[in-house]
Every structure is written in C-alpha cells, then in structure tokens.
Amino acid sequence: MSTNRWDTLRRFDVIILATIFIALAWILTVHRTTDFIIFCIFVLAYDLLYGYMGRLSFGHMLYFGVGAYAAALTPEYVSGNPFAALALALAAGALVGVLLGPIIVRTTGACFALINLAFNQVGYFLVLIAFAAYTGGEDGKAAFFDKVWFLDFGNRTVVFVTALVSLLLVSYFLGSLTNSPFGILLRTIKENELRARFLGYDTYRYKLLAFTISTSLSAFAGWLSILNYTYATPSFIDPHRNVEVIFASLIGGAGSIYGAIAGGIAYMAISNYLPNYIQRWEMFLGMTLLLLVFKFQTGIWGFVSSLFNMPRTEEKS
C-alpha cells in the first residue's frame, strides 16, 4: 500500500476504532468492553514514555491509582459531580508528575525503571496502610456520582460511550503530539539524547513535560475506571500489576498509537479469557514474550504494517 493511500485510510481512524469497540461490546459485554477501552488509554499513556521517549517504567500503576483514588474520594469530600472528580484526578496526576518528575527524568535505564517502582511501592503503602482511614485500606472505597444533565454514569452504556469518546480524543491528541516537533524531539532523545543536547535543546524540560502528560493521562484512565467499577481498591495501585501495561505495549508494538491499542486489546483478551481454558495462562504470556523478542520485535502492529507496506508509526510524510 502506498504512503498516499495509507494517509487516506488514516482519515477513517475514528470510524474504524469506534466500529471495533462497538463490535466488541456486542460480542462481549458493554462493561467488559469499557474495561478494554480504559486499559487501552492507560497503555497509550505509558507508551508515550516507553515507545517514544525510550524510558521503561516499572511503576506506572502509581499514576493510574492516583487518578482512581482522587476520583473515588471526590464524592465524599468535595462533590458528587463526576466532572469535579475528573478535574481532581487530572490535577492529581499532573501534580504527581510535576513533583516526582524532576527526580525521575534525570535518570535513565534500570534506574528510571526502578525509581518509578520505588515510588509505586510508597504509594501502595500509603493507600493500603497509612491513609487507610480515608482510602478504605484493603476494603477499598466506593464512589457514586450524581447525574449531570442527561448523563447518568450509573448507566453502563453512558460509561461505555464516555470511555470510547475519551479513547478517540486521547488517540487524536497523542497522534498530533507525536507527529509534532515535540514528538520528533522525544524520538531523538530516545535514539541519542546527547546529540539532542549538543544541538541546543534542553532535553530535561521536554522529558519532564512528556512525563507529566503521561502521568496525567494515566490518572485520566483511573477516573474512567472509577466510573466503570464505582469503587477503588489497592489493586488499582498495586506494583505487581505493572507487568500488564508493559506486556501490552510489547505485544502491540511500542512507539505506535495503533500498536498500543492493539496491544491493550490483545492483553485484555488473553488475561480475561485464556484462564478459562488454560490454568497456567501466565506461561502463555511468557512464551508470547519470547516469541516477540526473537521473531516479532515490532509487535502486532509492526508485523501487520510490514505485511501491507505501511508506516509502522503514524508519522506524516
């Protein structure tokens, strides 16, 4: 497929993505498909760091959990308005990014991955024990929101549509961002940060901004998860769950909007339905990772793109 034909096809991205998830809602359930969508948004947020900036994080559940708990605590302490919960979730995600970012983004490699994990462990402790009186500890925290105009988030269909529209907007935003000079610089930092600094760019500021955007979008996914489940538990911030988003990014193909979505769907399908047939389903994930490392290093989207001679990333020619 020529580049021009591929660019033409990209105009139908919104229709294609919407059709895929509406079909999934018909095949599965609206509630389960909403869960798929939320996880895809989380993978997109994570992939901004890993796929585009080349920074592997072992602690991204912290930022998801911060948004989830900020949203879950809003009805009790601030307002029952779901959009007030959204504002606080985004603010909490951005605040954590701004506070921790100056420490984290100065590191690279294993140090970057492990310092995120360390902060995630601290956040997990705070939610589970230190602030258990507010967060509910092991029991979690229920959250119910008021109806706003015609939007009743107690209705699963309303939550599904909200999550789907959110995914489309986040995909568009990240697609535009990664195709901008900012996105090009992030990829330059991934390839050779020293060269970017030599050219006169303050790479620290760009990395901090990318990190904050990633934490904010992760918190946004946390808010959506509260709408879908109406409660928050320590599992929303559990460090052991970081492997989920890492696997999804690898399976789909890091550094691609479509790869992140494909990986999110693939991982959710594997983790939700494979255990029904294979008791030790984690072994299948391990085998999948080995297959990716040795045969399909660009993931699902990279493999599909190579078959049809399409650009693997969504860069405009």
Give, for all 317 residues of the chain, the pLDDT tens digit: 444 444 444 567 788 888 999 999 999 889 999 999 999 999 999 999 999 999 999 999 999 999 999 999 999 999 889 999 999 999 999 999 999 999 999 998 899 999 999 999 999 999 999 999 999 999 889 988 988 888 888 889 999 999 999 999 999 899 889 989 999 999 999 998 888 898 888 999 999 999 999 999 999 999 999 999 999 999 999 999 999 999 899 888 888 899 999 999 989 988 888 777 777 777 777 777 777 767 766 777 777 777 766 555 554 43
Provide the 10 A C-beta neighbour count for residue 104: 23
pTM of the model: 0.91
At 128, list the tokens: 């589970």
Q: What share of the chain is helix, strand, coil (3-state, %, to 5)?
A: 75, 0, 20
Residue (of 208, 308, 178, 234) closest to 66 by Cα position: 234
Residue (of 274, 226, 252) closest to 89 by Cα position: 226
What are residue 200's phi and psi, to 5 degrees? 105, 5
| Host H or E run for residue 195 | helix 181-198
User: For position 3, what pLDDT does the model report?
Assistant: 45
Distance from C-alpha of 139 to C-alpha of 50, rounded to nearest angstrom: 33
Please state the domain extents for the chain.
3-307
For residues 162-182, one letter each, b for 16 or more C-beta atoms within 10 angstroms of the residue's C-beta and e for the rest, the string is bbbebbbebbeebbeebeeee
Provide the 10 A C-beta neighbour count for residue 260: 32
Distance from C-alpha of 302 to C-alpha of 282, rounded to nearest angstrom: 24
Which residues have CB under 8 Å from 283's CB, separation 6+? none
Distance from C-alpha of 12 to C-alpha of 18, rounded to nearest angstrom: 10
What are residue 298's phi and psi, to 5 degrees? -95, 5
